[in-house]
Each structure stands twice: as C-alpha cells, then as structure tokens.
Amino acid sequence: MLKALIFDLDGTMAETERDGHRLAFNRAFAEAGLDIEWDEETYSRLLWVSGGKERIGYFLRNCPTCPKLLDSQIASLHRRKTEIYTQMVARGEVVWRPGVLRLIHEARRAGLLLGIATTTTPDNIVALLENVDPSLPSWFIVVVSGEMVKRKKPAPDAYLRVLQGLGVEPGEAVAFEDTQNGLMAAQAAGIATVITPSYYSKEHDFSGALAVVDHLGEPDNPAVVLQGHQAGESLVVNLDRLRSWLSVRINNTDRPSYR
C-alpha cells in the first residue's frame, strides 16, 4: 500500500542546479576574488560530488592553479553562496518543474505522508518551499538535509532517516529523483523511484527505476515516459499511475549497490 511520497529537492522539484546553484557558486567565487568560473560542462561533472562544500573542496584539490583553502575558508565561501542562492530563489529565478506541486497537493488531499531527502543546505529547502507558499514547509513531515546525515547521496542515509521518521516501510513509499546518485541512494534504501531527469542529468544511467519520465506532467502538459512500463506514452504522474506502476513492478534485483 502506498503511504508516502519522498522527494529529492535539487533538480527534482525545481531546476535549481541550472537556474540557481551554478550561478551562485560562480558569484561567490567572484566576490571572494577567486579566478574560478564553473561553466556548464565543468558543473555537470562536479555534480557527481554531492554537497556544495564537498564540491568546492573536490574542485580545489584537483585544480593545480587554484589557491589551497582551509576547510573554514571553504565553509565561509559556501555560506555566502547559500545567501546568494536563497536570494535568487526569493526573487523567483528558480523554476519549479511541471507536476510537482500538483502531485504534492494530490498526495496531501489523499492523506499520504510527505518527506524530503536532499543533500542541500536547510536554508535552501525553506527558501524554495516558502517561495511557493509559506505553509508548504509544514506539509513535509520529515525533511532530511545533507547536514543531518553522515554520508550524503549516493549513500542511502537520507532516505533511511526519512523512512524512519515517517514510520513507513521502503515498500510503502515512492521516491522522486533526478540523478543517478539520487536513484542509487533511494534504491539502496529499498524505495521504488520515479526519475525526472533534470538539465544536467539527462545522460545518467537510470537502470532499475520504477519509471523515467521527462517531468511529472500537468493535464495540459503531459509527461512522456522515457523508460520503464508504458515507455513512449504521454501521461500525467498521479497517485493512480504510481499505484499501477508499483503493481506491475517486476521483482527488481538489479538494484545498484552503494559501498
């Protein structure tokens, strides 16, 4: 029985990486006087590193011409990046993806539990949700951010913690993700996962997903199923559709494993 929907935030709820994070990182670098600018190709590779602080640290370690920053300097650079990003969100510069709010409303009306499993900073979560509706954050019973878990995605930690907080079994939830790292995290927690690839993740491997759709769809803007049951069809991802996908789900044994 479907009892809960668990959403990733970045790339899944909104095109945050394309419209917000990359630009905010670059503005923070420029303000700090660093001669670093992440173009789209570079950022697309860096997205394999979950978490902004980790991403900056990884980049600097692999950049022979860049200054070596202390962890405390990276943390302060990242704090400024978060300020820049949340201001961009408040100005409405980060676009929500089709169908996400529709499905959240439907799930709430049906009494399903809602959770968020994300790697991003808590301020970013509140900024994005409140930009739609100040009461939206309270609709999510459990919100687990990157700072609350020991291991970020692709580790299952965030998803396991959301399941525990909601009090549901993995088989009673569906996760929504946009990246291979996210899929691995949700699947390693045993949760069937619907993928909506985002701007930077279209080429990722989504083997084993419950379905891959270009977005969740609106009645006047249906989604196209890219992979999985009903591939090629146009539809709207609603609760009935999720239940029907779950019911035909073939016993999936090719779950990517996280080590």
Which spans of this chain sit near ligand XBP (rule: CB under 6 A)?
8-11, 17, 21, 50-52, 82, 118-121, 124, 146, 153, 179, 181-182
Q: Of the two residues 93 and 240, which places its CB atom closer to ligand XBP in the complex?
A: 93
Residue 95: CB minimum distance to ligand XBP, A: 16
Residue 119: CB minimum distance to ligand XBP, A: 3
Q: Of the two residues 118 and 131, which places its CB atom closer to ligand XBP in the complex?
A: 118
Residue 17: CB minimum distance to ligand XBP, A: 6
Residue 102: CB minimum distance to ligand XBP, A: 21
Q: How far apart are CA 5 and CA 98, in angstroms?
A: 17
From the candidates 10, 71, 205, 254, give the one annotated as an active-site residue: 10
From the candidates 8, 71, 178, 240, give the one annotated as an active-site residue: 8
Q: Is 10 annotated as catalytic?
A: yes
Q: Of the two residues 31 and 240, which places its CB atom closer to ligand XBP in the complex?
A: 31
Q: Is 8 annotated as catalytic?
A: yes
Q: By the 8 A CB rule, do 141 and 113 touch?
A: yes
Q: Of the two residues 51 and 228, which places its CB atom closer to ligand XBP in the complex?
A: 51
Closest-by-Cβ residue to ligand XBP is 52
Which residues on neighbouring strands pair with residue 212, listed in sequence order? 195, 227
Active site residues: 8, 10
